[in-house]
């Protein structure tokens, strides 16, 4: 295997990303909502952790029906977060520390309060009419008005919203306040390009781009044959997607900017790799969802499902191999603002195993091939919301719409099952305020009532106590990120090999550099003690949360405690 040639090296491959969810990170004003000045006050914490790139979830002006993913002005900051001068201060503070700023762009849809849509809905001949997707109603045999097709919204119900003003429906793949833009219209694409240039000219280093694979729709808008999320086959990677992505990629290239595209509802790896192949000039990397759908049942996200370690292995191995073999790049993530907490989802958040499990997640994730993404609170092992919380504590529109749809029509046992699924999978799990210390409201705010309730376990899980404790989850993340940089030829640019594939408790993999240097990562996903025969001769322990020395692993046999992980050089 030859070494990676220089042109393939890039700053965004070698760095790691920390995602900030602004509303829940740090409140500097006592409003109960996080803000930009709060983020600025915590930059040194992020620098000390060892991350290089800070990605902010949407901060633009928004009515907040979907926590900022409904944008009413792309060039104005939402007032509760601050103003554009705060972005400038944040940018400068990050750049002074050698760090980068990535903004979250939502360009598949806008808010229904955006000026473009306000104009569009006024009349059929308005100049902005075809900036969005409008269709006349269909009528059934009884003469009842029906949506133009049977596509389903990602937030429950039809994907079409009727508007009385012009007696037509507009497409909204998400909530009714999020009308989809019509990317077939060149004026829409020019406006999107203008927004990108505005922020790149202002010093942003790149973008995370929301559901970017939805921007091209099959223009015949056919009915769907699918029973869950009907319609995705007609717009997830639509006919002109790659043409549009190349237009975005050309702009990003001018600025040497980074991009990560969110691409849900696609399992065709060939389609996804086209978006990130180095020679195509589209996106730097993508978030695919095959791993995130692992616990989704037959009726979608909020239906129960079980998974085995073998499934996790096959999915991870598939994408590790596929990106490496096809000159693509992985965005490595197990948590974000839309997903539950990894320690609760993939390992064990019970009191006796929680800390070891959180450390396992750090080692398992960040030593894979790709750019690691750490979501706020992941570095201290924050968990899902308590099982005891009632539905009145939940804020997530997806979860609440689902509950609204079923709560009056199902029996008590089904209601209990649904509430259990919400506690496991609701987006609210990631959106509780950051747990900074053990003071009131976890140090997130001085307000008596934050916008969302703080997780009850903040006295046990908080950043202040972990920064002081060298054996903490936080320090495991620090060490992992440090070792990833120290051995970049192995962990950033090296190959990936699954080891002991049939083992149902141990997930082990090898990373191999172009010059033959190698490392082994071993993770015990079970709550049992396991004696594991590696078959490899270790020469140095890189990371061992339990303090294992080279003598403990040299004989090719490793005694792994419950939820224990280790990384060694071979």
Residues 511, 522: contact at Cβ < 8 Å? Answer: no
Q: Which of 262, 335, 349, 564 is catalytic?
A: 262
CA 387 from centroid of its chain's CA atoms: 23
Q: What is the phi-psi region of residue 568: left when phi exceeds 0, alpha when psi lies from -120 to 50, beta otherwise?
A: beta
Residues 110, 70: contact at Cβ < 8 Å? Answer: yes
Tokens 């309060």 — which residue?
A: 113
Q: Which of 168, 210, 282, 338 is catalytic?
A: 210
Active site annotation includes 167: no
Active site annotation includes 262: yes
Distance CA 37, CA 55 (A): 15
Strand extents, DSSP E, 149-231: 160-163, 168-171, 206-209
DSSP class of residue 86 equals H
Helix%, strand%, coil% for the chain, nearest 5: 35, 15, 50
Q: What angle is formed at CA 312 by the lines to CA 273 and CA 227, rounded to 5 degrees? A: 70
Phi, psi angle pair for 161, to nearest 5°: -120, 125
DSSP class of residue 103 equals E
Closest Cα to residue 150, out of 223, 217, 227?
A: 223
Phi, psi angle pair for 251, to nearest 5°: -70, -45
Pairing of strands 134-135, 168-171: antiparallel
Q: Which residues are catalytic?
A: 210, 262
């Amino acid at each position: 295997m030859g070494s990676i040639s220089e042109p393939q090296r890039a700053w965004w491959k070698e760095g790691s990303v920390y995602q900030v969810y602004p509303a829940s990170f740090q409140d500097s004003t006592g409003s109960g909502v996080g803000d930009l000045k709060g983020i600025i006050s915590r930059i040194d914490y992020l620098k000390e952790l060892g991350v290089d790139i800070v990605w902010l979830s949407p901060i633009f002006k928004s009515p907040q029906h979907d926590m900022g993913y409904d944008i009413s002005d792309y060039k104005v900051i939402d007032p509760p977060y601050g103003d554009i001068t705060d972005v400038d201060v944040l940018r400068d503070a990050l750049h002074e520390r050698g760090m980068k700023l990535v903004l979250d762009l939502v360009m598949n849809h806008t808010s229904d309060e955006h000026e473009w849509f306000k104009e569009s809905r006024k009349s059929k001949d308005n100049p902005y009419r075809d900036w969005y997707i409008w269709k006349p109603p269909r009528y059934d045999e009884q003469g009842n008005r029906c949506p133009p097709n049977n596509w389903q919204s990602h937030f429950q119900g039809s994907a079409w919203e009727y508007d009385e003003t012009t007696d037509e429906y507009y497409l909204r793949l998400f909530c009714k306040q999020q009308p989809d833009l019509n990317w077939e219209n060149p004026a829409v694409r020019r406006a999107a390009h203008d927004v990108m240039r505005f922020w790149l000219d202002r010093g942003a280093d790149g973008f995370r781009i929301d559901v970017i694979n939805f921007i091209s729709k099959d223009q015949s808008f056919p009915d769907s044959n699918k029973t869950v999320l009907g319609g995705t086959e007609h717009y997830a990677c639509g006919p002109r997607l790659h043409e549009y992505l190349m237009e975005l990629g050309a702009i990003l290239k001018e600025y040497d900017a980074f991009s990560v595209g969110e691409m849900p509802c696609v399992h065709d790896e060939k389609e996804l790799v086209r978006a990130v192949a180095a020679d195509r000039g589209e996106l730097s990397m993508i978030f695919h969802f095959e791993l995130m759908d692992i616990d989704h049942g037959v009726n979608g996200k909020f239906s129960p499902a079980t998974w085995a370690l073998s499934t996790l292995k096959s999915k991870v191995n598939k994408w590790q191999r596929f990106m490496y073999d096809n000159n693509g790049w992985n965005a490595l993530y197990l948590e974000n603002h839309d997903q539950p907490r990894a320690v609760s989802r993939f390992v064990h958040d019970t009191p006796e195993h929680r800390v070891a499990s959180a450390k396992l997640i750090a080692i398992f994730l960040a030593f894979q091939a790709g750019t690691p993404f750490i979501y706020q609170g992941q570095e201290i092992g924050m968990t899902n919301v308590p099982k005891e919380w009632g539905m009145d504590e939940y804020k997530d529109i997806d979860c609440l719409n689902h509950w609204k749809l079923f709560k009056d029509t199902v029996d008590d046992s089904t209601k209990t099952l649904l509430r259990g699924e919400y506690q496991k999978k609701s987006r609210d799990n990631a959106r509780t305020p950051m747990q900074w210390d053990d003071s009131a409201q976890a140090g997130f705010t001085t307000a008596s009532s934050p916008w969302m309730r703080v997780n009850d376990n903040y006295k046990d899980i908080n950043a202040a106590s972990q920064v002081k404790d060298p054996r903490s989850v936080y320090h495991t993340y620090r060490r992992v990120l440090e070792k990833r940089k120290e051995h970049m030829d192995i962990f950033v640019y090296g190959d990936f090999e699954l080891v002991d594939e049939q083992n149902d408790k141990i997930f082990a993999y090898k990373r191999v550099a172009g010059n033959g240097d190698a490392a082994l990562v071993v993770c015990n996903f079970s709550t049992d003690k396991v004696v594991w025969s590696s078959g490899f001769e270790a020469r140095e322990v890189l990371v061992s949360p339990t303090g294992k020395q080279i003598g403990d692993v040299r004989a090719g046999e490793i005694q792994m405690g419950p939820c224990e992980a280790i990384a060694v050089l071979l």
